[in-house]
Chains A and B, each alone.
Chain A
Amino acid sequence: METILNIENLTKVYGTVPNQTQALNGISFQVMEGEFLGIMGSSGSGKSTLLNCMATVIEPTSGKIQIDGKDLQKMKGAELAKYRGQKMGYLFQNFELLDNLTARENILLPVSLHGMSEKEGQSRLEELAKYLEITEVLDKFPDKMSGGQRQRVAAARALILNPKIVLADEPTGALDSKNARSLMEKLTGLNTNEQTTILMVTHDTAAASFCKRILFISDGVIFHELRRGDESRQDFYERILNVMAQLGGGRSNVL
């Protein structure tokens, strides 16, 4: 299996001497093609900083982020924009659909931004819409959709260009448990059937239990790693809860 994302000794320091905060303290890990990786951690653990570095929102102080063998830090301007759309799909906590565009137009935004042919975009759209069960809302505006539909539309938008990796930022954060479950099932399906690589940051143990592997971050370092073997989701869920409890915050940290 090919390595999609390679993170090496990543550090991020905020502020200047003497008021420095070490948000990331030498994190290294790899994400393989077709993986479904979860990142968990309490507030202030550094997971947001890590996600922001990968999403090229902030620059790391040192270390390396390589996607598909290319150094992210060396990318500038157009190449960076291309990375944001084509190599990486981003799934937001608050969906971030443009409310004056229909679902179809929202999904096709990356197509128009990155010059994919319209025909190709349309066929991919239909395929995704069918799978994510949003065909009937394609011509509706976001305010006419349910939260679950909105997030599935957002997922279709993140996936339309077949990105190398999907970064999901608390994707179930704004959903009720039923919709959250349905979304996670769809994402798992995509991961299993289409080999879509997904990296998800979450607080939600239930959502995390859909992942194949979970990294726990605390104080800017990887504190623990869990791999889901052949066990049931329920068992994996229990194991995650245990780690979360060990992290020191107990259940209050999980929610």
Chain B
Amino acid sequence: MGTYLRPKSLDDALEALRASPWVILAGGTDFYPARVGRALDEDVLDITAVDGLRGIDDAGDHWRIGALTTWTDLLEAPLPASFDGLKRAAREVGGVQIQNAGTLAGNLCNASPAADGVPPLMALDASVELASADGRRVVPVDRFVTGNRQTQRGPNEVVTAIRVPKRPDATVSTFLKLGSRTYLVISIVMVAITLEPADGTVGRIGISVGACSPVAQRLTRLENDLTGAPLDNDLIGRVKADHIDAVLAPIDDIRGSGAYRQEAALVLVRRALSEVAALAGGSA
């Protein structure tokens, strides 16, 4: 058995990380599953007792989601409609047992290609706040996650919060997940969209697709092509297969072929767009 440290202050946690590498543990929902049937012999830094890391705060121009905020905390927080997509993702993370323990920040740090939290946070232009004994920095989510199980977090850093920029009140969002069963399912494809309507047209829009690439991807060309388009019946017709295929080259695996994922991603992007357009008061 390794050392287990559960500091009460962030400074103590950062001090420990400065001295030596630790496995950082919060909700445990990824830590333990990766260690089934083997000894727990690593040095573990349990950050769940660190003061001030849990909860969602209004920080002026953005919302600050503390690193220990669980999926259930998010679901129970009164937040604007721009968070509805993220909340839908929260309901799809494991069962309620997992939602009660697992954290949004942990979901980012685990960096699974099928992480439910990544597409909605990307579509919200969220960023990640990191701290080390040497200082703090903020990295956009789409740059923070760099590959399958890889992130920008350095060995002496800890994620302290996720920052979500505030949006106009009219902003709407959604999240769609495709899997082979109802609960407890790993995505075949997922799509998140955040839409700011602008006078009956698409204003700012964020569209991201998960489980179709090592890291979820924003569909920036599609976003550009849709910006300014009227929220009408022709909207979803503007989404072409090439918008997906040019960005994503999903692999074949037990959950579905790459070709199927591409096709399904197109269907889900259109359906999600139709949903947010309807939420925004358009007719699509």
The answer to whether A binds B is: no
Q: Which residues of B are interface residues toward A (Cβ below 8 A)?
A: none
Q: Which residues of A are interface residues toward B (Cβ below 8 A)?
A: none
